[in-house]
Amino acid sequence: MMKAERVAVDIPVYDLSLIRELWEGRVKKHRQRQKKEEERISKSALARVNQQWQYRIACKKLKSTEVTALHTYLERSTLQELHTHTSDSDSESSKLIFELNGQKWMKLPEDLQFMTFLREWHIHGTRIPEIPSYIEAFVELRVLDVPKNGLSRLPVEIGKLLNLRELNVNYNKLLSIPAELGECVNLEHLEMTANTHLAELPFELSNLKKLQHLDLAENKFPSIPICVLRMESLKCLDISNNALRDLPEDIDRLEALEMLFLHRNAVRYVPMSTNNLLHLKMLVISADQLYSLPSHLVDNPKIKLIRLYDNPIKAEDEEEMNMDAEAQDTHEKEFMKTYIESLQDRDTQPSYTTKVSLSCLL
Protein backbone atom coordinates (compact mmCIF):
# COMPACT_ATOMS: atom_id res chain seq x y z
CA MET A 1 0.00 0.00 0.00
CA MET A 2 1.42 3.27 -1.11
CA LYS A 3 1.58 6.23 1.21
CA ALA A 4 0.49 9.68 -0.03
CA GLU A 5 3.32 12.08 -0.08
CA ARG A 6 2.86 15.55 1.36
CA VAL A 7 3.47 18.38 -1.07
CA ALA A 8 4.83 21.56 0.43
CA VAL A 9 3.65 24.81 -1.17
CA ASP A 10 5.33 28.10 -0.45
CA ILE A 11 2.82 30.99 -0.24
CA PRO A 12 4.38 34.43 -0.66
CA VAL A 13 3.19 37.03 1.86
CA TYR A 14 2.93 40.62 0.54
CA ASP A 15 2.88 43.85 2.48
CA LEU A 16 -0.85 44.74 2.70
CA SER A 17 -0.06 48.40 3.27
CA LEU A 18 1.25 48.60 -0.28
CA ILE A 19 -2.00 47.22 -1.67
CA ARG A 20 -4.04 49.64 0.44
CA GLU A 21 -2.01 52.62 -0.78
CA LEU A 22 -2.51 51.47 -4.37
CA TRP A 23 -6.29 51.32 -4.04
CA GLU A 24 -6.51 54.56 -2.07
CA GLY A 25 -4.65 56.28 -4.90
CA ARG A 26 -7.09 54.89 -7.46
CA VAL A 27 -10.10 55.94 -5.36
CA LYS A 28 -8.69 59.45 -4.96
CA LYS A 29 -8.18 59.85 -8.71
CA HIS A 30 -11.70 58.54 -9.35
CA ARG A 31 -13.21 61.05 -6.96
CA GLN A 32 -11.26 63.88 -8.56
CA ARG A 33 -12.52 62.89 -12.01
CA GLN A 34 -16.07 62.61 -10.61
CA LYS A 35 -15.87 66.09 -9.06
CA LYS A 36 -14.64 67.62 -12.32
CA GLU A 37 -17.47 65.92 -14.20
CA GLU A 38 -20.05 67.29 -11.76
CA GLU A 39 -18.65 70.79 -12.18
CA ARG A 40 -18.76 70.45 -15.95
CA ILE A 41 -22.38 69.28 -15.88
CA SER A 42 -23.44 72.06 -13.48
CA LYS A 43 -22.10 74.64 -15.92
CA SER A 44 -23.76 73.08 -18.94
CA ALA A 45 -27.39 72.66 -20.04
CA LEU A 46 -27.29 68.91 -19.42
CA ALA A 47 -28.82 69.27 -15.97
CA ARG A 48 -31.95 70.89 -17.35
CA VAL A 49 -32.21 68.37 -20.18
CA ASN A 50 -31.83 65.52 -17.71
CA GLN A 51 -34.52 67.09 -15.50
CA GLN A 52 -36.92 67.23 -18.43
CA TRP A 53 -36.28 63.60 -19.30
CA GLN A 54 -36.77 62.59 -15.69
CA TYR A 55 -40.13 64.33 -15.82
CA ARG A 56 -41.03 62.45 -19.01
CA ILE A 57 -40.21 59.14 -17.31
CA ALA A 58 -42.23 60.11 -14.23
CA CYS A 59 -45.28 60.94 -16.36
CA LYS A 60 -45.09 57.58 -18.15
CA LYS A 61 -45.42 55.87 -14.78
CA LEU A 62 -48.66 57.72 -14.01
CA LYS A 63 -52.02 56.18 -14.69
CA SER A 64 -54.21 57.90 -17.23
CA THR A 65 -56.70 58.82 -14.52
CA GLU A 66 -53.92 60.43 -12.48
CA VAL A 67 -52.73 62.42 -15.45
CA THR A 68 -56.28 63.62 -16.10
CA ALA A 69 -56.73 64.55 -12.44
CA LEU A 70 -53.65 66.71 -12.62
CA HIS A 71 -54.89 68.30 -15.87
CA THR A 72 -51.80 66.76 -17.48
CA TYR A 73 -49.84 69.69 -16.03
CA LEU A 74 -49.41 71.17 -19.45
CA GLU A 75 -51.92 72.69 -21.83
CA ARG A 76 -51.90 69.78 -24.30
CA SER A 77 -49.43 67.06 -23.35
CA THR A 78 -46.37 66.48 -21.21
CA LEU A 79 -43.43 68.62 -22.34
CA GLN A 80 -45.05 69.22 -25.69
CA GLU A 81 -43.88 72.33 -27.48
CA LEU A 82 -46.81 74.71 -27.63
CA HIS A 83 -47.79 77.85 -29.51
CA THR A 84 -45.04 80.09 -30.80
CA HIS A 85 -44.22 82.71 -28.19
CA THR A 86 -44.41 86.01 -30.08
CA SER A 87 -44.81 88.46 -27.21
CA ASP A 88 -41.19 88.31 -26.05
CA SER A 89 -38.53 90.38 -27.77
CA ASP A 90 -36.24 87.35 -27.95
CA SER A 91 -38.89 85.48 -30.01
CA GLU A 92 -38.82 82.22 -28.06
CA SER A 93 -39.87 79.32 -30.26
CA SER A 94 -42.17 77.69 -27.71
CA LYS A 95 -43.56 77.90 -24.18
CA LEU A 96 -44.48 75.40 -21.51
CA ILE A 97 -47.60 75.95 -19.44
CA PHE A 98 -48.86 74.66 -16.08
CA GLU A 99 -52.62 74.85 -15.45
CA LEU A 100 -54.70 74.12 -12.37
CA ASN A 101 -58.40 74.91 -11.89
CA GLY A 102 -61.12 74.15 -9.38
CA GLN A 103 -61.78 74.44 -5.67
CA LYS A 104 -60.88 70.81 -5.02
CA TRP A 105 -57.22 71.84 -5.13
CA MET A 106 -55.96 72.92 -1.69
CA LYS A 107 -52.25 72.56 -2.40
CA LEU A 108 -49.99 72.37 -5.42
CA PRO A 109 -48.83 68.96 -6.73
CA GLU A 110 -45.52 67.98 -5.15
CA ASP A 111 -43.90 67.28 -8.53
CA LEU A 112 -44.37 70.88 -9.57
CA GLN A 113 -41.25 71.97 -7.72
CA PHE A 114 -39.12 69.93 -10.13
CA MET A 115 -40.62 71.50 -13.27
CA THR A 116 -38.46 74.60 -13.18
CA PHE A 117 -38.38 74.80 -16.97
CA LEU A 118 -42.00 76.03 -17.12
CA ARG A 119 -42.70 79.42 -18.68
CA GLU A 120 -46.25 80.02 -17.41
CA TRP A 121 -48.38 79.23 -14.36
CA HIS A 122 -52.17 79.50 -14.66
CA ILE A 123 -53.89 78.66 -11.36
CA HIS A 124 -57.54 79.74 -11.16
CA GLY A 125 -60.28 79.38 -8.59
CA THR A 126 -58.55 77.00 -6.19
CA ARG A 127 -58.28 77.04 -2.39
CA ILE A 128 -54.50 77.19 -2.38
CA PRO A 129 -53.64 79.75 0.35
CA GLU A 130 -50.15 80.76 -0.79
CA ILE A 131 -47.52 80.46 -3.48
CA PRO A 132 -44.62 78.26 -2.29
CA SER A 133 -41.18 79.73 -1.74
CA TYR A 134 -39.62 77.29 -4.22
CA ILE A 135 -41.01 79.48 -6.98
CA GLU A 136 -37.64 81.26 -6.88
CA ALA A 137 -36.19 78.30 -8.84
CA PHE A 138 -38.51 79.02 -11.80
CA VAL A 139 -36.16 81.56 -13.34
CA GLU A 140 -37.64 81.02 -16.83
CA LEU A 141 -41.17 81.96 -15.71
CA ARG A 142 -42.77 84.62 -17.93
CA VAL A 143 -46.40 84.58 -16.76
CA LEU A 144 -47.75 84.08 -13.23
CA ASP A 145 -51.55 84.05 -13.51
CA VAL A 146 -53.13 83.22 -10.11
CA PRO A 147 -56.54 84.96 -9.72
CA LYS A 148 -59.38 83.87 -7.41
CA ASN A 149 -57.37 81.60 -5.13
CA GLY A 150 -57.74 83.29 -1.75
CA LEU A 151 -54.04 84.10 -1.57
CA SER A 152 -53.23 86.05 1.59
CA ARG A 153 -49.63 86.85 0.72
CA LEU A 154 -47.01 86.74 -2.02
CA PRO A 155 -43.64 85.19 -1.16
CA VAL A 156 -40.62 87.50 -1.05
CA GLU A 157 -38.90 84.95 -3.34
CA ILE A 158 -41.01 86.33 -6.18
CA GLY A 159 -38.27 88.93 -6.60
CA LYS A 160 -36.04 86.19 -8.08
CA LEU A 161 -38.24 85.92 -11.18
CA LEU A 162 -36.21 88.33 -13.29
CA ASN A 163 -37.83 87.15 -16.54
CA LEU A 164 -41.41 87.64 -15.33
CA ARG A 165 -43.50 89.66 -17.80
CA GLU A 166 -47.06 89.28 -16.48
CA LEU A 167 -48.47 88.95 -12.96
CA ASN A 168 -52.18 88.56 -12.22
CA VAL A 169 -53.31 88.33 -8.58
CA ASN A 170 -56.88 89.55 -9.10
CA TYR A 171 -59.63 88.59 -6.63
CA ASN A 172 -57.44 87.32 -3.82
CA LYS A 173 -57.06 88.44 -0.19
CA LEU A 174 -53.72 90.22 -0.33
CA LEU A 175 -53.18 92.78 2.41
CA SER A 176 -49.81 93.95 1.11
CA ILE A 177 -47.37 93.55 -1.76
CA PRO A 178 -43.76 92.52 -1.02
CA ALA A 179 -41.12 95.12 -1.81
CA GLU A 180 -39.14 92.38 -3.57
CA LEU A 181 -41.61 92.53 -6.46
CA GLY A 182 -39.75 95.67 -7.51
CA GLU A 183 -36.83 93.43 -8.48
CA CYS A 184 -38.87 91.94 -11.34
CA VAL A 185 -37.57 94.69 -13.60
CA ASN A 186 -38.91 93.11 -16.81
CA LEU A 187 -42.53 93.10 -15.63
CA GLU A 188 -44.85 94.64 -18.24
CA HIS A 189 -48.37 93.72 -17.11
CA LEU A 190 -49.55 93.79 -13.47
CA GLU A 191 -53.11 93.21 -12.22
CA MET A 192 -54.21 93.42 -8.56
CA THR A 193 -57.96 93.95 -8.92
CA ALA A 194 -60.29 93.36 -5.97
CA ASN A 195 -58.00 92.42 -3.12
CA THR A 196 -60.44 94.31 -0.88
CA HIS A 197 -58.11 95.77 1.75
CA LEU A 198 -55.10 96.63 -0.40
CA ALA A 199 -54.42 100.33 0.21
CA GLU A 200 -50.73 100.95 -0.53
CA LEU A 201 -47.80 99.78 -2.60
CA PRO A 202 -44.13 99.67 -1.58
CA PHE A 203 -41.93 102.42 -3.00
CA GLU A 204 -39.60 99.74 -4.43
CA LEU A 205 -42.13 99.16 -7.21
CA SER A 206 -40.74 102.38 -8.70
CA ASN A 207 -38.13 100.12 -10.28
CA LEU A 208 -40.71 98.64 -12.65
CA LYS A 209 -39.63 100.92 -15.49
CA LYS A 210 -40.94 98.57 -18.20
CA LEU A 211 -44.46 98.22 -16.76
CA GLN A 212 -47.08 99.24 -19.33
CA HIS A 213 -50.37 98.04 -17.81
CA LEU A 214 -51.36 98.40 -14.15
CA ASP A 215 -54.78 97.44 -12.77
CA LEU A 216 -55.48 98.49 -9.16
CA ALA A 217 -59.27 98.60 -9.46
CA GLU A 218 -61.63 97.72 -6.59
CA ASN A 219 -59.25 98.21 -3.69
CA LYS A 220 -58.87 100.86 -0.96
CA PHE A 221 -56.27 103.23 -2.40
CA PRO A 222 -56.85 106.79 -1.09
CA SER A 223 -54.56 108.22 -3.78
CA ILE A 224 -52.37 107.15 -6.66
CA PRO A 225 -49.31 105.53 -5.01
CA ILE A 226 -46.02 107.44 -5.32
CA CYS A 227 -44.30 104.46 -6.92
CA VAL A 228 -46.88 104.44 -9.73
CA LEU A 229 -45.96 108.00 -10.69
CA ARG A 230 -42.42 106.77 -11.32
CA MET A 231 -43.37 104.00 -13.75
CA GLU A 232 -42.21 105.88 -16.81
CA SER A 233 -43.44 103.34 -19.42
CA LEU A 234 -46.97 103.04 -18.03
CA LYS A 235 -49.60 103.29 -20.79
CA CYS A 236 -52.74 102.06 -19.06
CA LEU A 237 -53.70 102.76 -15.43
CA ASP A 238 -56.96 101.45 -13.97
CA ILE A 239 -57.51 102.67 -10.42
CA SER A 240 -61.30 102.73 -10.61
CA ASN A 241 -63.55 101.92 -7.64
CA ASN A 242 -61.13 102.98 -4.91
CA ALA A 243 -61.18 105.82 -2.37
CA LEU A 244 -59.66 108.59 -4.52
CA ARG A 245 -60.84 112.17 -4.04
CA ASP A 246 -58.14 114.10 -5.86
CA LEU A 247 -55.32 113.45 -8.30
CA PRO A 248 -51.67 114.37 -7.61
CA GLU A 249 -50.36 117.55 -9.22
CA ASP A 250 -47.39 115.65 -10.63
CA ILE A 251 -49.51 113.12 -12.51
CA ASP A 252 -47.82 114.39 -15.67
CA ARG A 253 -44.79 112.32 -14.66
CA LEU A 254 -46.62 109.51 -16.43
CA GLU A 255 -45.48 110.78 -19.82
CA ALA A 256 -46.38 107.59 -21.72
CA LEU A 257 -49.91 107.30 -20.28
CA GLU A 258 -52.60 106.62 -22.89
CA MET A 259 -55.59 105.33 -20.90
CA LEU A 260 -56.68 106.40 -17.41
CA PHE A 261 -59.66 104.85 -15.61
CA LEU A 262 -60.86 106.79 -12.57
CA HIS A 263 -64.59 105.98 -12.47
CA ARG A 264 -66.34 104.96 -9.25
CA ASN A 265 -64.16 107.29 -7.21
CA ALA A 266 -65.21 110.55 -5.58
CA VAL A 267 -62.74 112.61 -7.60
CA ARG A 268 -63.58 116.32 -7.33
CA TYR A 269 -60.66 117.93 -9.09
CA VAL A 270 -58.49 117.10 -12.09
CA PRO A 271 -55.24 119.13 -12.08
CA MET A 272 -54.13 121.28 -14.98
CA SER A 273 -50.96 119.20 -15.23
CA THR A 274 -52.99 116.58 -17.11
CA ASN A 275 -52.58 118.89 -20.11
CA ASN A 276 -49.00 117.64 -20.24
CA LEU A 277 -50.07 114.05 -20.81
CA LEU A 278 -49.40 114.30 -24.51
CA HIS A 279 -50.16 110.67 -25.30
CA LEU A 280 -53.45 110.50 -23.41
CA LYS A 281 -56.19 108.99 -25.59
CA MET A 282 -58.91 108.09 -23.10
CA LEU A 283 -60.07 109.26 -19.67
CA VAL A 284 -62.97 107.62 -17.85
CA ILE A 285 -64.14 109.40 -14.71
CA SER A 286 -67.23 109.61 -12.50
CA ALA A 287 -68.63 113.11 -12.67
CA ASP A 288 -71.13 113.15 -9.81
CA GLN A 289 -68.80 115.13 -7.53
CA LEU A 290 -66.47 116.52 -10.18
CA TYR A 291 -66.36 120.33 -10.18
CA SER A 292 -63.08 121.09 -11.96
CA LEU A 293 -61.96 119.64 -15.28
CA PRO A 294 -59.36 121.22 -17.60
CA SER A 295 -60.91 122.42 -20.84
CA HIS A 296 -58.10 120.74 -22.76
CA LEU A 297 -59.53 117.32 -21.85
CA VAL A 298 -63.00 118.38 -23.06
CA ASP A 299 -62.01 120.16 -26.25
CA ASN A 300 -59.23 117.95 -27.53
CA PRO A 301 -60.72 115.70 -30.27
CA LYS A 302 -57.88 113.19 -29.81
CA ILE A 303 -58.99 112.42 -26.24
CA LYS A 304 -62.07 110.29 -25.64
CA LEU A 305 -63.47 111.72 -22.41
CA ILE A 306 -66.12 109.55 -20.76
CA ARG A 307 -67.89 111.12 -17.79
CA LEU A 308 -70.09 108.66 -15.92
CA TYR A 309 -73.03 109.66 -13.74
CA ASP A 310 -73.90 106.79 -11.44
CA ASN A 311 -77.64 106.65 -10.87
CA PRO A 312 -78.48 103.53 -8.83
CA ILE A 313 -82.16 102.65 -8.96
CA LYS A 314 -84.23 100.16 -7.02
CA ALA A 315 -84.38 96.88 -8.86
CA GLU A 316 -87.70 95.08 -8.90
CA ASP A 317 -85.94 91.76 -8.83
CA GLU A 318 -84.39 91.14 -5.41
CA GLU A 319 -81.87 88.77 -6.95
CA GLU A 320 -80.40 91.66 -8.92
CA MET A 321 -80.10 93.73 -5.75
CA ASN A 322 -78.34 90.87 -3.99
CA MET A 323 -75.93 90.22 -6.80
CA ASP A 324 -72.53 89.40 -5.32
CA ALA A 325 -69.81 92.02 -5.56
CA GLU A 326 -67.62 89.97 -7.88
CA ALA A 327 -70.42 89.51 -10.40
CA GLN A 328 -71.12 93.26 -10.35
CA ASP A 329 -67.49 94.08 -10.90
CA THR A 330 -67.22 91.60 -13.76
CA HIS A 331 -70.37 92.99 -15.35
CA GLU A 332 -69.03 96.54 -15.11
CA LYS A 333 -65.68 95.62 -16.64
CA GLU A 334 -67.42 93.84 -19.51
CA PHE A 335 -69.57 96.89 -20.10
CA MET A 336 -66.60 99.25 -20.10
CA LYS A 337 -64.61 96.97 -22.38
CA THR A 338 -67.46 96.69 -24.89
CA TYR A 339 -68.11 100.42 -24.81
CA ILE A 340 -64.45 101.33 -25.26
CA GLU A 341 -64.01 98.85 -28.10
CA SER A 342 -66.95 100.49 -29.86
CA LEU A 343 -65.00 103.77 -29.79
CA GLN A 344 -61.61 102.44 -30.87
CA ASP A 345 -62.30 102.52 -34.62
CA ARG A 346 -63.78 106.03 -34.63
CA ASP A 347 -61.55 108.84 -35.84
CA THR A 348 -63.40 111.53 -33.90
CA GLN A 349 -65.17 111.61 -30.60
CA PRO A 350 -68.99 111.46 -31.02
CA SER A 351 -70.84 114.15 -29.13
CA TYR A 352 -72.73 111.77 -26.89
CA THR A 353 -69.54 110.31 -25.37
CA THR A 354 -68.79 113.53 -23.50
CA LYS A 355 -71.56 112.73 -21.05
CA VAL A 356 -72.76 109.22 -20.33
CA SER A 357 -75.56 108.72 -17.81
CA LEU A 358 -76.06 105.14 -16.66
CA SER A 359 -79.33 104.00 -15.18
CA CYS A 360 -78.03 100.51 -14.37
CA LEU A 361 -76.65 99.54 -10.99
CA LEU A 362 -72.87 99.88 -11.15
Q: Which of 224, 244, 228 has its CA nearest to residue 190? A: 228
Residue 49 has pLDDT above 90, yes or no: no
pLDDT bin (cut points 50, 70, 90) of residue 63 is low
Residue 305 has pLDDT above 80, yes or no: yes
**Each residue's pLDDT tens digit, 139-148:** 999 999 999 9
Residue 176 has pLDDT above 50, yes or no: yes
Q: For residues 94 and 22, give the distance between their C-alpha atoms in angstroms, rounded to a whole number.
A: 53
CA atoms lying within 13 Å on the CB side of residue 129: 0
Please report the pLDDT score of residue 83 as a whole number: 35
Give mean pLDDT, residues 310-327. 50
Please report the pLDDT score of residue 35 as a whole number: 81
pLDDT bin (cut points 50, 70, 90) of residue 318 is very low
Please report the pLDDT score of residue 32 as a whole number: 84
Give mean pLDDT, residues 64-90. 41
Residue 358 CB contacts under 8 Å (≥ 6 apart), including other chains? 308, 309, 310, 311
Residue 336 CB contacts under 8 Å (≥ 6 apart), including other chains? 261, 263, 284
Q: 1 or 306: whose pLDDT is higher?
A: 306
> Each residue of 117-137: b (16+ CB within 10 Å) or e?
bbbbbbbbebebeebeeebbe
Please report the pLDDT score of residue 184 as a whole number: 97
Q: 149 or 323: whose pLDDT is higher?
A: 149
pLDDT bin (cut points 50, 70, 90) of residue 100 is very high
Q: Which of 257, 353, 245 has its CA nearest to residue 308? A: 353
Please provide the CATH number assigned to the domain covering 50-243. Answer: 3.80.10.10
pLDDT bin (cut points 50, 70, 90) of residue 70 is very low
Q: For the chain, what is the mean pLDDT?
A: 78
Domain ranges of the chain: 50-243, 264-362
50: enclosing H helix or E strand: helix 46-61
Q: 112 or 324: whose pLDDT is higher?
A: 112
Give mean pLDDT, residues 227-255. 96
Q: 107 or 329: whose pLDDT is higher?
A: 107
